[in-house]
Structure 1
């Protein structure tokens, strides 16, 4: 198929203070550009997201949100609203910390991502969508009600734009655990999509039932895996090397976080090597690791590339350990660990994730056959790149299919 240049718009979570979120968007943008397309990132920042990631959260917003949540009489709901207002005002004490995160992340996003103007609501996006030949939703947890204000956000199902514009998801993350009948909830939402690509096979059968054979479905790797190690060098800062080798920890909050820090401590004692934590929450990290650092996505890449060992419970912490061929162990997150174990099984790395900390520490220094891993990754990567390019060409406005 001859490649025809398309203008592609990506909608995703590119703005949270989370290294994986920013880097997965950058990776998809970069790969599409390498495939010959012009790319923009649809700067969709609805209020429910904005209030989560702003240095000074709006207490009125959270008071209204708490007022609407509980069942019960008016007085009880008012109490919840007052509690929401008070907790939000109390969170202002973290302004210096959150402001520092913003200073780390915002320049990276501004420098590397081709953002459109800001859209604060679906209605704004529907009234004046960016002019594109193809819209792509993905990756990250876009189809997860827990993240999108308790209900699906149809913007992430591409419910906007000219009907002639192609619409697809790419490696979109989903979570339907709290829905009684997810197929029914999805059926109306996915009807505008030409093709669906998921990241985890766990939810494939649910989406296939919702699609009822009318929409092709596919499983693809996270966008960060579309690029090899060399491509990420262009996004790393020029930093002086650490004076001594180090173990890196990168964690998501949750019940396995403590296991990660305990494991890193045991490994540190075993190897006589310091631990650096780049998880991004100094208030929690100070209690566990002496050397904790707040990093932007570029610094995050640098620290993983130069680490001797990585101990993590994070999906993207695991992904970049693989990309940079690190010795690593993963104790999967209790709620989201499936995406980690599924990927490592496909790569032939099922011996790198553990439930028990001492087992993880014992295996951390074991060699990894990265020649075999690279062969597996190349197959997955090629299949996903071929799918991405074929879909853009087939379903894009200029592809002649719509």
Structure 2
């Protein structure tokens, strides 16, 4: 049985990060691979919500935040930790590239998520670029690695080019980035879908929470905050005679706002998306799970350079769901049968890459 070690952002308290890690591991296990998420303590994985909570606060600020926010922060923190320990089960704690020496994986799979975004991982990070010093011989691949909105410049190529040459197979989540990296290393680079799409909606039923909201609602999930999002949400809520519910990616306010959920874990996140009448989001994974659950949605265009969700929607013929101005919105229903057919074809490309390079 092939033994695979996944290197990703498995400890980030971020819905998309933990769910993509869950999906990739679950798919590979279903395909008969002995698959672990390697507990690599990169700078990204070392950061926790609790550490960030106490960081850079003066005594007065800390006291105010402790009184009003800490219980909610702790509740959210516990839910993420439970999900990570229960469903990701990371093993083999590693602090740097030299600690890999005594491990015995047949294949290391790096990704998904923004493991190649140097603004996130830092310029000194090399493990995510394949700098792994295991004594036993191994294959090196990526699955749906993302550079985020960043392109590799000449300085990046000087820093990491030598590592890229060592990969047996590379796949990237964004189409433009896959072409760019292919040109740099003069090797074929596959464009594949995010790991969350490796599983269908039914496959997430084992981790989804019980229903949370009884009434009809429009879900607003913002990473980058936009007035356009709120304006559109209120307009659609009036049309559908539904209330607006807000899902925050962190505990931001001192006092919980009305109809705002800021302490939910990954399982509740799935439920809130699945049961919504419509989702309005600025998030890649908010968009992804709207598609997986066939829920009407709109992606608010905050950053004109944000290629991640745009690449996904263009691939599925859903570019009309991108909103540049809330005064110009298409209220046409999504043809989910057509979208699901296209999605299945794109999934097949991802399955083929994994079977060719990991599953065997």
TM-score where L is the length of structure 1: 0.80
Q: Is the 8 A contact 1:186 1:210 kept in 2?
A: no
- 1:109 equivalent to 2:80? Answer no
Change (3 A) 1:47 1:312: closer
**Distance across 2 between alignment mates of 1:29 and 1:88:** 43
Q: Which residue does the alignment assign to 2:26?
A: 30
- 1:252 equivalent to 2:247? Answer no
CA-CA distance at 1:218 after TM superposition: 0.7
RMSD (Å) for aligned C-alpha atoms: 2.6
Q: Which residue does the alignment assign to 1:189?
A: 163
Determine helix, strand or coil for the equivalent of 1:189. Answer: helix
Q: Is the 8 A contact 1:183 1:209 kept in 2?
A: no
Query: 4+ runs of 1 displaced by more than 6 Å?
Result: none
Q: Is the 8 A contact 1:143 1:152 kept in 2?
A: no
Q: Which residue does the alignment assign to 1:378?
A: 344
TM-score where L is the length of structure 2: 0.89
- 1:307 equivalent to 2:281? Answer no
**Distance across 1 between alignment mates of 2:182 and 2:37:** 28
- 1:351 equivalent to 2:351? Answer no
What's the CA shift string for 1:275-325, capped at 9, x where partnerless? Answer: 1122233435979x6211121111111111111111011100001111111
Determine helix, strand or coil for the equivalent of 2:11. Answer: coil
Change (3 A) 1:253 1:88: farther
CA-CA distance at 1:87 after TM superposition: 6.5
Per mean C-alpha deviation after superposition, the further-off stretch among 324-333 and 174-183 is 174-183
Determine helix, strand or coil for the equivalent of 1:295. Answer: coil
**Distance across 2 between alignment mates of 1:166 and 1:367:** 45
Q: Is the 8 A contact 1:196 1:218 kept in 2?
A: yes
**Distance across 2 between alignment mates of 1:263 and 1:217:** 38
- 1:45 equivalent to 2:41? Answer yes
Question: Quick one: which of 251, 256, 259 aligns to 1:291?
Answer: 259
Number of aligned residue pairs: give it: 353
Change (3 A) 1:335 1:121: farther
Q: Which residue does the alignment assign to 1:226?
A: 198
**Distance across 2 between alignment mates of 1:136 and 1:310:** 32
Compare CA radii of gyration and give the structure with the larger one: 1
Q: Is the 8 A contact 1:249 1:277 kept in 2?
A: yes
What's the CA shift string for 1:59-92, capped at 9, x where partnerless? Answer: 8xx8xxxxxxxxxxxxxxxxxxxxxx55799568
What's the CA shift string for 1:237-284, capped at 9, x where partnerless? Answer: 2335x3311101111135xx3322232122223333111122233435
What's the CA shift string for 1:36-64, capped at 9, x where partnerless? Answer: 111100111234642x32413498xx8xx
Q: Which residue does the alignment assign to 1:55?
A: 50
**Distance across 2 between alignment mates of 1:271 and 1:265:** 10
Q: Which residue does the alignment assign to 1:337?
A: 306
- 1:147 equivalent to 2:120? Answer yes
Q: Which residue does the alignment assign to 1:170?
A: 143
- 1:208 equivalent to 2:182? Answer yes
Q: Is the 8 A contact 2:33 2:359 kept in 1?
A: no
CA-CA distance at 1:24 after TM superposition: 0.3
Change (3 A) 1:382 1:88: farther
Question: Quick one: which of 214, 217, 235 aligns to 2:207?
Answer: 235
CA-CA distance at 1:178 after TM superposition: 7.6
Q: Which residue does the alignment assign to 2:287?
A: 318
Q: Which residue does the alignment assign to 1:369?
A: 335
